[in-house]
Structure 1
Amino acid sequence: MAATVRIETATEVDTEILSRLLGEVEAYYGGTDTPADTAQIRAALFGPRPVATVLIARDGNDAVGFASYSFLWPAVGADASIFLKELFVRAPHRRTGVAWQLMNAVQQAGREAGCTRLEWTADADNPAALHFYEALGVDPRKDKPFYRLSL
């Protein structure tokens, strides 16, 4: 049965829960479940130059997942795109429709901002994510390799 959750834009009040959620993301990818630095979260999301927006999925008062996104420019010509950086659902709530609701909310945010496309990456060794994105009907791009340079 699909979960019905509220999708809300995170505010500074959510810093502690975001810290714990980011720790869970790290654990999911093989790291330690250590909460993220709250000062970094405040600076990145709620400081003078926010670098991302976070949507939190809530079941009652319980945060069950989140999606973070940023806008990119240019996409095509002078169009903008929305980039999904992270989509995470806590283990007990996976396969209940929460990820679908978060993806729909990100798409809506992109439409409202006038974006022409939604873009994201996925780890090749994350079959659950790859299966989810395949179920969305979206094929991975083979013509755009992804690069990362540490700063």
Structure 2
Amino acid sequence: MNITIRKAEEKDSEQLWQLMKELAVFEKYINSFAITPEIVRNSGFKKNPPDFHCIVAEDSDKIAGMLVYYYHPYTAQNKPAIYMKELYVDENYRGQKMGEQLMNALKNEAKENNCSQIKWTVAPWNEAGQRFYERLGANENKEWLNYEWNI
């Protein structure tokens, strides 16, 4: 196995969509999953600026992991921040440090773009995810509550 970590390209759209769909099953929101390969292609690669950015872990020609993120251009620190929306590794590739490699690539991206923080959420039932993030040195933010307004 020869894993390459790189920024996603338009040609990856179909495989990214497949991983996004697998994540929707894993996180139990597949019934509301409305993403298509065309949406991935148009929103992430044809739109300028794109709605999201993505880093992938590739094994030969197979995308085995993805990290989807976007920028918050302004924060109280007068620096941008990155919001990580999705991190997912194909179950056949788990336990091989691929998630850690993707997170480190995002950390490098944040440093290159003068970001002050990387933020994300994790489901309370996803204890393995919580342990993974804590092992990397991330801290749970207990100062803020997440709200959403479905429209």
The question of a shared fold, defined as TM-score above 0.5 by the shorter chain, is answered with yes
Q: What is the CA–CA distance in structure 1 between the aligned matches of 2:44 and 2:94, rounded to whole Å?
A: 26
Q: What is the CA–CA distance in structure 1 between the aligned matches of 2:104 and 2:16, rounded to whole Å?
A: 20
Q: Structure 2 length as normaliser, TM-score? A: 0.89
What is the SS of the residue equivalent to 2:15? Answer: helix
What is the SS of the residue equivalent to 1:66? Answer: strand
Cα distance, 1:49 vs structure 2: 3.2
Matched, 1:85 2:72: no
Cα distance, 1:69 vs structure 2: 0.8
Cα distance change on mapping 1:24 and 1:116 into 2, 3 Å: same
Cross-structure match for 2:38 = 39
Q: What is the CA–CA distance in structure 2 between the aligned matches of 1:110 and 1:136, rounded to whole Å?
A: 16
Matched, 1:17 2:15: yes
The answer to whether the 8 A contact 1:4-1:98 is kept is no
Cα distance, 1:103 vs structure 2: 0.2
Cross-structure match for 2:127 = 127
Cα distance, 1:142 vs structure 2: 0.5
The answer to whether the 8 A contact 1:52-1:69 is kept is yes
Over aligned residue pairs, what C-alpha RMSD do you find?
Answer: 2.0
What is the SS of the residue equivalent to 1:70? Answer: strand
Cross-structure match for 2:28 = 30
Deviates more, 1:104-113 or 1:26-35: 26-35
Cross-structure match for 1:104 = 104
Unaligned runs of 5+ in 2: none
Q: What is the CA–CA distance in structure 2 between the aligned matches of 1:121 and 1:150, rounded to whole Å?
A: 17
Letter in 2 for 1:7: I
Q: What is the CA–CA distance in structure 1 between the aligned matches of 2:81 and 2:145, rounded to whole Å?
A: 18
Cross-structure match for 2:70 = 70
Cα distance, 1:108 vs structure 2: 0.5
Cα distance, 1:35 vs structure 2: 9.0
Q: What is the CA–CA distance in structure 2 between the aligned matches of 1:60 and 1:42, rounded to whole Å?
A: 21
Q: What is the CA–CA distance in structure 1 between the aligned matches of 2:150 and 2:2, rounded to whole Å?
A: 39
Letter in 2 for 1:43: N
> Following TM superposition, where does structure 1 have runs of at least 4 consecutive aligned residues deviating by more than 2 angstroms?
30-36, 73-77
Query: How many pairs were matched up?
Result: 149
Identity %: 26
